[in-house]
Amino acid sequence: PGRDLALRVSLYADDVIIFANPVKEEIDTLMSIIHDFGLASGLKVNLQKSSVAAIRCDQINLQQVLQSFGGQQARFPLRCLGLPVTISRLRIVHLQFILDRIRARLGWKGRLLTIAGRRVLVRSVLSALSTFALTVLKVPKKLLAEVDKIRRRLLWAQDEAISGGKCKVSWPEVCTPIDNGGLGISNLQRFSRALRLRWLWLSWLTPNRPWVGMQLPCDQGDRELFNASTTVTLGDGKTASFWDSSWAGAGTLKMEFPELHKHSKRKNRTVHAALHDDTWVTDLAHGQTQQLWPEVIRLNRWLISKNISLSDQEQDTIKWKHTASGSFSTSSAYNCQFQRDAQD
């Protein structure tokens, strides 16, 4: 109980992934259902293009379990819809195909282009080839460094070996928007972060999506940027995070009361859950409460002064600060990271 699979089938166009238990009776029943579906609809499975990959089945006789399958057995890591799938930590070797695809665009082309033409090629082609993977995965930093080496080589050295003397402008300056004095080539570290923020935006607006509740490819830095770039208006308080969401006016309670947040045992409570019977106070770690009393009193007085009133008839709403419409966009999420540098 509580550990059931939230997602057993993933369907995209005519590609299907089915998660099944390594039990012969279950596989036999599954294949029988697929066979009957083919007879009824005419959409039959091509077993020559189908494969099965085992997840932690070392002590199981897979030949016996998969007697009715008829397809080939694959091993992790494997590719699905153009992305690597692995049951271990994602490594740069799993993404080598992206580097190979980018390198394939080099060669004689650089010698026939001016530096302005090479800049367009870097911006429009080389920088775009990794976008799909960056949207879905938290890729290793080493991959981004390798892509930067390829882009820098084409821009400054054509197809020759790159050296510091050939680089006319520092690479961080090159990877700065034109409005900020750069050449407008994307900073992959910040661009990938802007792409990942859409996961947090969609999980708030459409909580019924099948992947909501699963682990997202977002790190703590992504979440801090998202919280700093959004404003939350309370309704029922059942979506906004008590500590992390910007519902308290300027900033988050996590930033205003860092010691209380540090000692809270339940940092993921919603505003509704935290305010109910002052649960945020009982969440504080035992043995630490006495030294935290000044901060507890200060936060309690602040909450009273706000006269917070939750309404069960309305849902919490969120607004993106960096667009006039209040809706998230990747370009605004990318540009705001440079605006923060200018402010600092």
Q: How do residues 9-49 score in pLDDT, each as one tens digit?
A: 888 888 889 999 999 999 999 999 999 999 999 988 888 88
pLDDT tens, position by position, 212-246? 888 899 999 999 999 999 999 999 999 999 999 99
- 164 and 259 part of one domain: no
- 277 and 311 part of one domain: yes
- 318 and 228 part of one domain: yes
How many structural domains are present in the chain?
Answer: 3
Share of the chain above pLDDT 90, in %: 53
Question: Within a domain: residue 132?
Answer: yes
- 111 and 141 part of one domain: yes
Closest CA to 243 of 271, 223, 221: 271
- 253 and 164 part of one domain: no
- 232 and 334 part of one domain: yes
Question: Within a domain: residue 158?
Answer: yes
- 13 and 61 part of one domain: yes
Residue 69: give the domain boundaries.
Answer: 9-75
- 306 and 243 part of one domain: yes
Closest CA to 198 of 338, 333, 292: 333
- 330 and 233 part of one domain: yes
- 71 and 96 part of one domain: no
Cβ atoms of 213 and 206 within 8 Å: the answer is no
Amino acid at 33: I
- 230 and 305 part of one domain: yes
Final residue of a structural domain among 23, 40, 75: 75
- 56 and 103 part of one domain: no
